[in-house]
Structure 1
Amino acid sequence: MTLNPTDPVTLTQALIRCESVTPDEGGALTLLQNVLEPAGFTCHRLVFSEPGTPDVDNLYARLGSGRPHLSFAGHTDVVPVGDEKVWTVPPFSGDIRDGKVYGRGAVDMKGCVAAFVSAALKYIHHHNGLPRGSLSFLITGDEEGPSINGTMKILDWLKSRDEVVDACLVGEPSNPKALGDEIRIGRRGSVNAEIVVHGKQGHSAYPQLADNPVPKLARLIDRLSTAKLDDGTPDFQPSNLQVTVISVPNTATNVIPGQAVAKINIRYNDLWHRPTIEAWVRDKLAHAAAEVGAKYEVSFSGTGDVFLTKPGPLVSTLTDAVQSVTGRIPKLTTGGGTSDARFIKDICPVVEFGLVNATIHQVDEHTSIVDLEQLTEIYGRFITNYFRTE
């Protein structure tokens, strides 16, 4: 296959054929670098490390030095394919069947990366360069993994160089059914908590000689999971808490365990921030523990707080581009999980728009050629109008 980087279909196929399962780069970033450098982009390969996590290769490519500075953020790492035998096409083939491109990452999010690269190169070729401002790509290999050695550290690196980004588009697949359905303008925050209730191990026939932590943990979980966080806000759905793991360090049925552990995940809206949501959990636990005499510890983990990009020039520029190509007026939403936009929101306004997300992380992940081509056109109009109006 001859690679034409202004054709989003062949570029998507080429990226899919790079087996870049987190944290392996798989050749995907090298492919993008080889495409962007001939167009004038200055490329930096940034490998970041952290104890206890795998090293991650990232790419930052920039054309121009002035403002406004528009950046596209995305990732080339993908989740594992699972059982290859149940795929109807090889997961890293990039095969085309019935007008659809198949393969792991076709939607999440190599197709989106390919579409923006194609749109950017067409814009640059048409204008014989970048007429004004700067255009950059912030591509990580760590979005599907711990998200420690990726976007967060690229942003720190940019700050150390005094590079300012004025606006960012994240190419996450944002549309539930059809291209043009939704633009993501925010995300709920996410925080994990681990609760450890301590007891005294003993024989189940002699409970008076032990202290069973399991019923106490159950009472704490009940208090947390039945408490109402809020009713939602005009921009966000209600916050929610879910218990995800319950465990004890033994499997014997005649042994009372010495401790019991629960893990919870909270998705919270803009009525909360990380410190206030943690304080809420601590308060609920303290009251419940006092009722049952539980001795416990709680710890928190997770990265990224809630954010919202209010309607304004960035949102309207993207909305107009989507409507002009698809005929749809996209809904402005804040649903879904998390993305690297949760880090980028700290440096500039950020929005998300990409392909239809119906098959992400699934067997036979795929996107239609029509959607790829339309997304490229949307991105092209967005780039044109951003540099025209900002």
Structure 2
Amino acid sequence: MTASIDPVELARDLIRCPSVTPASGAVFDVLDAALSALGFTVHRWVMGEAPDGPTENMVAMRGEGAPHFGFAGHLDVVPAGDKWDCDPFEAKVEDGLLVGRGANDMKSAIAAFVAAVAEVEQKSGTLSFLITGDEEGYATYGTPRIIDWLNEREVRPDMILIGEPTSVDRLGDTVKIGRRGSVNMWIDVPGVQGHVAYPHRTENPVPPLARVIAALDRVHLDDGTDAFPPSNLEFTSIETPTNASNVIPGSATAALNIRFNNLHKGEDLVRMVEEVAAREAPGATVRARISGEAFLTPKGELYDLVVAAIREETGIDTDLSTSGGTSDGRFLIKLCPVVDFGLPNATMHKVGECAAVEDIRQLAAIYARIVAKVVG
């Protein structure tokens, strides 16, 4: 049995449910209703407490046996921000664009995949949706907990497509076959607060922190690989607890992020920063949070399915890339091969985030081709 679902209208319904990360509730109700009507068995649960929760997760499955094709995504969005020309959760359609927070990243892709599975007659195998409410945050109660749920029930997809917006100039030009790892660190240098006119009674933490920053800025991590661009270390903030011009602060903190390829492991990079901090600013401490390790999906059936469907629908020979930010593929790769493919990403996280209506419809058509090749 097949049905007809307008992916643009479903995307609008999802956008109209504000779901700033971590998300739960109404936005999941909308997706639940759409999937239940298509014969999916829907499992939902909420877990965790602030600040990383509460987070809602969903696993929806239809069919049984192999092959098991999974679609992964997230219903949470980043905060809307200011200076929109319209209500960011109005889901306005204007001049061929669907405008709203989540239109690009990534409620439209979820809607497109729902439309795809509605269109294709499923003759064999299993289809699943693995949907979290915490991808834009730290994912503490997000996709890793979905993986726990699957493992507890001995459910394992054979391949997973993630609907993140990967295209660059036009739909289909880029598919992500791996992602760099990411680690955030905070370097804390202690000092003794006091009046700037009496420096002998203080210990200024800013100069030693500056030495740490300068030393790390000189570090050359690598030149990249055949599959990955070079790793990069970027400082994102420098803070002291006082803002007065006549006070030497009692501490100073620098925050940094490293996006790293598969030549590195997160814990090794943390150790490197700790060693530099200890040398340049004795007494400094380093706090770290590894968001995920670098990963690369080996070439195989999933590559071929996605690339062929894009070529058939658009005529494009897609670029297989590992550039850009990370995704929940960093967790899901533990289950099976994973690739990311979705809309052009120029407006993701921006004020005025939007997606072309025709791109959403064409994305649904590409997804339908993929689904048909696997379970049709």
Relative to structure 1, is the Cα distance of residues 282 and 363 closer, same or farther in structure 2, using a 3 angstrom cutoff? closer
Q: How many angstroms apart in 2 are the aligned matches of 1:48 and 1:94?
A: 28
Q: Identify which range, 362-371 or 216-225, moves more after superposition.
A: 362-371
Is this contact kept in 2: 1:46–1:60, CA < 8 A?
no
Q: How many angstroms apart in 1 are the aligned matches of 2:247 and 2:13?
A: 56
Q: How many angstroms apart in 1 are the aligned matches of 2:270 and 2:78?
A: 30
Equivalent position SS for 1:132: coil
Task: Find the counterpart in structure 1 of residue 226 from structure 2.
Answer: 234
Q: String of CA shifts for 1:158-207, please: whole Å, max 9, x gaps.
A: 11111112111000000111001100011111101111112333332232
Task: Find the counterpart in structure 1 of residue 250 from structure 2.
Answer: 258
Task: Find the counterpart in structure 1 of residue 365 from structure 2.
Answer: 377
Give yes or no for the alignment of 1:187 onto 2:184. Answer: no
Q: How many angstroms apart in 2 are the aligned matches of 1:365 and 1:247?
A: 30
Give yes or no for the alignment of 1:108 onto 2:105. Answer: yes
Shift of residue 225 of structure 1? Answer: 1.3
Task: Find the counterpart in structure 1 of residue 320 from structure 2.
Answer: 332
Q: Of Structure 1 and Structure 2, which has the larger fraction of its residues in helix?
A: 1
Q: What is the correspondence of 1:79-118 to structure 2 with a 5 Å cutoff?
A: 79-83=78-82, 86-118=83-115
Is this contact kept in 2: 1:19–1:26, CA < 8 A?
no
Q: Identify which range, 18-27 or 263-272, moves more after superposition.
A: 18-27
Q: What is the correspondence of 1:43-122 to structure 2 with a 5 Å cutoff?
A: 43-50=42-49, 52-83=51-82, 86-122=83-119
Is this contact kept in 1: 2:194–2:202, CA < 8 A?
yes
CA-atom RMSD in angstroms: 1.8
Shift of residue 133 of structure 1? Answer: 1.5
Is this contact kept in 2: 1:249–1:257, CA < 8 A?
yes
Q: How many angstroms apart in 1 are the aligned matches of 2:229 and 2:285?
A: 30
| Number of equivalenced pairs | 374
Relative to structure 1, is the Cα distance of residues 24 and 51 closer, same or farther in structure 2, using a 3 angstrom cutoff? closer
Shift of residue 238 of structure 1? Answer: 0.8
Q: How many angstroms apart in 2 are the aligned matches of 1:53 and 1:14?
A: 26
Structure 1 regions of 5+ residues with no counterpart? none
Task: Find the counterpart in structure 1 of residue 285 from structure 2.
Answer: 297
Shift of residue 50 of structure 1? Answer: 4.3
Shift of residue 308 of structure 1? Answer: 0.8
What letter matches 1:21 in structure 2?
A: V
Q: How many angstroms apart in 2 are the aligned matches of 1:39 and 1:251?
A: 58
Give yes or no for the alignment of 1:158 onto 2:158. Answer: no
Is this contact kept in 1: 2:185–2:256, CA < 8 A?
yes
Q: What is the correspondence of 1:214-363 to structure 2 with a 5 Å cutoff?
A: 214-289=206-281, 294-363=282-351
Task: Find the counterpart in structure 2 of residue 37 from structure 1.
Answer: 36
Q: How many angstroms apart in 1 are the aligned matches of 2:348 and 2:14?
A: 16
Structure 2 regions of 5+ residues with no counterpart? none
* Percent of pairs with identical residues: 47
Relative to structure 1, is the Cα distance of residues 370 and 276 closer, same or farther in structure 2, using a 3 angstrom cutoff? same
Q: How many angstroms apart in 2 are the aligned matches of 1:335 and 1:107?
A: 18
TM-score, normalization by structure 2: 0.94
Q: String of CA shifts for 1:315-357, please: whole Å, max 9, x gaps.
A: 1110111111111111011111121111111211110000111
TM-score, normalization by structure 1: 0.91
